[in-house]
């Protein structure tokens, strides 16, 4: 109990002292920091008036190591004085630029504020050669994605700059042949191959991997790489490609038309090919033909057709014996498991049978002979 009372009294005493303080306060969050050789530094300073009347406070940097440049800016401009109202705070930036060939070691600076009968000083120390090394990291929310080869695999990746200096990061990748990888900053549509990342900050990226539609089923690896000078980070992604059959139907000769004889079977050679990444199973053939026509297939079914393979099928088209000479459309179709379906339209030009042509010629000849006989016999009367 007594300990709590003493703690409360200490807090109240500190508040009382703060309320009694009268003067200028000049400070920064980190007055002693480590930096890399040749690195420029920008520090945010705060200057506040406590219990003073309004007026101008002059600023200076009286202590600067040889060869270094020290500049005070405010609102993006060079400043040497600040006007403060009572209990007002001003924000400044101290920019420190090292010489070209700065050596490792400790360098001390002094910033001073004078005005309204008060003086405030802020010592700053830079430890050159003790900064954080360049370091990058890559992390994916979901490093393993699954889908068919016709889909796009999109990963959300976070790129972190874990050093104390701004970096321009190049984005690279290694992927199987035919795979395409693009990098797009989150909530943007512009693809990039490099981007700046400030010290201690991170950037989210959408990484999209596109692959050939005939990619066989299986697991594939893609490596992302971020590079900035000597700093480098790698990230392994996995694509689990699920197979999908995709069949194509065509004639063996590539022609989609041909002549057929009415009343007779006419063979049309077909080729069915699986251009997908998984076996096509239970393929069956059918046709949509004109009324009175017949279409048969040899074979009628294919149990399985492996990716990249093809098979020959014969469609036997038999037009109606009463079909009139002319063009007719016959639709040939193949279908199978997993929604596989493909069709082609074949234009069949019907010609009459040669036998019927000969019969017709014979009938005409007989008619001419009968007519001639009749004229010779009865015409003389």
| CATH at 114 | 2.60.40.2310
Q: CA angle, 24 as apex, 20 and 29 as ends, to 5°?
A: 105
Domain end point (choices 241, 271, 298): 241
215 shares a domain with 252: no
Is 371 inside a domain boundary? no
Rounded-to-integer distance, Cα 40 and Cα 165, Å? 9
State if pTM tops 0.75. no
Is 364 inside a domain boundary? no
Helix (H) or strand (E) holding 84: strand 81-84
Peptide bond into 299 cis (omega under 30): yes
**pLDDT score of 17:** 47
Cross-sheet strand order for the sheet of 280-288: 257-261, 341-351, 326-335, 280-288, 301-305
**pLDDT score of 356:** 52
Residue pair 77/107 in contact (Cβ under 8 Å)? The answer is no
Rounded-to-integer distance, Cα 217 and Cα 204, Å? 30
> Which ranges of the chain have pLDDT less than 70?
1-19, 353-368, 370-381
Is 378 inside a domain boundary? no
**pLDDT score of 330:** 96
In sequence order, which residues have a C-beta less than 8 Å from that of residue 20 and are 6 or more positions away?
none
Proportion of the chain above pLDDT 90, given as a percent = 72
188 shares a domain with 269: no
Rounded-to-integer distance, Cα 28 and Cα 166, Å? 21
Rounded-to-integer distance, Cα 238 and Cα 217, Å? 13
What is the span of the domain harbouring residue 101? 23-128
Instruction: Dihedral sign for Cα 182, 183, 185, 186, please.
Output: positive
260 shares a domain with 288: yes
Rounded-to-integer distance, Cα 154 and Cα 142, Å? 9
Residue 221: which CATH number?
2.60.40.10
Q: How many CA atoms lie within 13 A of 261 on its CB side?
A: 9
Separation of first and last alpha carbons in the chain: 158
Cα 71 to Cα 103, 133, 282, 299: the distances in Å are 21, 26, 80, 88
Is 7 inside a domain boundary? no
Structural domains of the chain, count: 3
**pLDDT score of 164:** 81
**pLDDT score of 217:** 84
Rounded-to-integer distance, Cα 45 and Cα 120, Å? 12
Rounded-to-integer distance, Cα 239 and Cα 219, Å? 6
Rounded-to-integer distance, Cα 34 and Cα 128, Å? 6
Rounded-to-integer distance, Cα 361 and Cα 269, Å? 34
Domain end point (choices 128, 162, 186): 128
């Amino acid at each position: 109990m007594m300990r709590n009372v003493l703690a409360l009294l200490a807090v109240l005493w500190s508040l009382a002292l703060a309320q009694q303080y009268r003067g200028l306060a000049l400070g920064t969050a980190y007055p002693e920091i480590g930096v890399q050789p040749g690195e420029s530094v920008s520090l945010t300073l705060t200057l506040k008036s406590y219990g003073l009347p309004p007026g101008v406070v002059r600023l200076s940097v009286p202590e600067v190591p040889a060869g270094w440049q020290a500049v005070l800016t405010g609102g993006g401009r060079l400043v040497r004085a600040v006007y403060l109202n009572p209990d007002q705070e001003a924000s400044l930036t101290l920019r420190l630029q090292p010489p070209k060939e700065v050596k490792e070691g400790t360098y001390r600076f002094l910033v001073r504020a004078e005005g309204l009968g008060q003086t405030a000083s802020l010592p700053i120390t830079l430890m050159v050669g003790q900064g954080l090394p360049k370091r990058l990291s890559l992390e994916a929310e979901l490093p393993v994605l699954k889908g068919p080869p016709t889909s796009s695999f999109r990963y959300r990746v976070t790129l972190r700059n874990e050093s104390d200096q701004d970096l321009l990061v190049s984005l690279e990748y290694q992927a199987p042949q035919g795979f395409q990888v693009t990098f797009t900053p989150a909530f943007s549509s512009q693809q990039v191959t490099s981007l700046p990342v400030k010290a201690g900050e991170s950037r989210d990226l959408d990484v999209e991997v596109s692959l050939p539609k005939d990619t066989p089923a299986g697991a594939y690896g893609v490596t992302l790489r971020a590079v900035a000078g000597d700093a480098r980070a790698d990230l392994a992604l996995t694509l689990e490609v699920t197979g999908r059959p995709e069949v194509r139907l065509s004639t063996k000769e590539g022609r989609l038309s041909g002549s057929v004889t009415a009343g007779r079977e006419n063979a049309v050679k077909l080729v069915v090919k699986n251009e997908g990444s998984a076996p096509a199973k239970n393929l069956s053939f059918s046709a949509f033909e004109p009324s009175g026509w017949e279409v048969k297939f040899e074979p009628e079914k294919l149990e399985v057709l492996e990716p990249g393979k093809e098979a020959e099928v014969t469609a036997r088209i038999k037009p109606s014996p009463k079909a009139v000479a002319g063009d007719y459309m016959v639709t040939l179709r193949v279908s199978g498991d997993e929604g596989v379906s493909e069709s082609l339209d074949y234009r069949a030009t019907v010609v009459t049978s040669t036998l019927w042509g000969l019969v017709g010629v014979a009938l005409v000849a007989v008619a001419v002979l009968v007519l001639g006989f009749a004229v010779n016999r009865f015409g003389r009367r």
